[in-house]
Chain A
Amino acid sequence: MRCLKFINCLIILFITINSLHAQSGMTGLFNPVDSVGLYQMNIDVETFHFSGLLLVKRLNDSTIRLVMNSEMGPKLLDMELYPSRYKLHYAFPKVNHKRFLKTLYDDFGTLFQVRIRNKNLSVEHSQNGYSTTYSPGKKTQIIYTADSLSNLFTSGRVMEGTSVSSKFLYVFEEGTSNISFMKLEHLPFTMIISLTRL
Chain B
Amino acid sequence: MRQIISSVMFICIALCTMSRVAVAQSYTPVKNTEEFKRLFAARSSAITSIQSDFTQQKSISMLENKIISEGTFTYKRENRLRMEYSKPYKFLFVMDHDQITIGNNQQKSSVSANSNKMYKLISQLTLDCFTGNVLNSKDFDLTISENARVYKLVLIPRQKLLKSLFERIDILISKIDVAVDKIELAETSGDHTTLIFHNKVINNPVNDEVFKIH
Assuming the contacts A38-B67, A49-B107, asked whether A67 and B62 have C-beta atoms less than 8 A apart, the reply is: yes
The interface on chain A, measured as residues whose beta carbon lies within 8 A of the other chain's beta carbons, has a size of 30
Q: Which residues of chain B are within 8 angstroms of A36 by Cβ–Cβ distance? A: 62-63
Contact of A73 among B56, B62, B88, B107 (CB under 8 A): B56
B62 touches A51 (CB 8 A): no
A75 touches B60 (CB 8 A): yes
The number of A-B residue pairs with CB atoms under 8 Å apart is 82
B63 touches A74 (CB 8 A): no
Contact of A55 among B56, B63, B89 (CB under 8 A): B63
A167 in the interface (beta carbon within 8 A): no
The interface on chain B, measured as residues whose beta carbon lies within 8 A of the other chain's beta carbons, has a size of 36
Contact of A74 among B83, B88, B104, B118 (CB under 8 A): B118
B189 touches A73 (CB 8 A): no
Q: How does the 8 Å CB contact mask read for B170-214 relative to A, with 1 for contact and 0 for none? A: 000000000000000101010101010000000000000000000
A61 in the interface (beta carbon within 8 A): no
Assuming the contacts A74-B193, A75-B189, asked whether A69 and B60 have C-beta atoms less than 8 A apart, the reply is: yes
A74 to B193, CA, bound (A): 7
B164 touches A93 (CB 8 A): yes
B140 in the interface (beta carbon within 8 A): no
Name B94-143 residues within 8 Å CB distance of A.
102, 104-107, 109, 111, 115-119, 122
B27 in the interface (beta carbon within 8 A): no
A153 to B91, CA, bound (A): 30
Nearest CB on A from B66, distance (A): 12
Contact of B118 among A40, A70, A198 (CB under 8 A): A70
A31 to B89, CA, bound (A): 22
A53 touches B189 (CB 8 A): no
A72 in the interface (beta carbon within 8 A): yes
Q: Which residues of chain A are within 8 angstroms of B185 by Cβ–Cβ distance? A: 73-74
A183 to B161, CA, bound (A): 32
B85 in the interface (beta carbon within 8 A): yes
Nearest CB on A from B69, distance (A): 8
Nearest CB on B from A123, distance (A): 34
Contact of B111 among A49, A93, A198 (CB under 8 A): A49
Please give me the residue from chain A that is nearest to B88 by CB atom: A198
A196 touches B105 (CB 8 A): yes
Assuming the contacts A40-B104, A42-B106, A196-B105, asked whether A94 and B118 have C-beta atoms less than 8 A apart, the reply is: yes
B151 in the interface (beta carbon within 8 A): no
A48 to B112, CA, bound (A): 11
A65 to B164, CA, bound (A): 22
Nearest CB on A from B156, distance (A): 17
Q: Which residues of chain A are within 8 angstroms of B191 by Cβ–Cβ distance? A: 74-75
Contact of A72 among B109, B122, B166 (CB under 8 A): B122
A160 in the interface (beta carbon within 8 A): no
A93 to B165, CA, bound (A): 9
Please give me the residue from chain B that is nearest to A72 by CB atom: B122
Q: Which residues of chain A are within 8 angstroms of B89 by Cβ–Cβ distance? A: 40, 53, 71, 198
Contact of B187 among A38, A74, A89, A194 (CB under 8 A): A74
A93 to B166, CA, bound (A): 12
B122 touches A74 (CB 8 A): yes
A71 to B86, CA, bound (A): 12
Nearest CB on A from B1, distance (A): 54
Q: How does the 8 Å CB contact mask read for A43-60 relative to B, with 1 for contact and 0 for none? A: 000001111010101000
B77 in the interface (beta carbon within 8 A): no
- List 14 additional contacts besides A53-B67, A92-B165, A94-B117; criterion CB under 8 Å: A42-B106, A49-B111, A50-B116, A51-B102, A51-B104, A67-B60, A69-B58, A69-B60, A70-B119, A71-B69, A73-B185, A73-B193, A93-B161, A198-B89
- 21 interchain pairs (CB within 8 A)? A38-B67, A48-B115, A49-B111, A55-B60, A55-B62, A69-B58, A71-B102, A72-B193, A73-B58, A73-B122, A73-B185, A74-B165, A74-B185, A75-B60, A75-B187, A75-B189, A76-B118, A78-B62, A94-B117, A194-B106, A196-B106
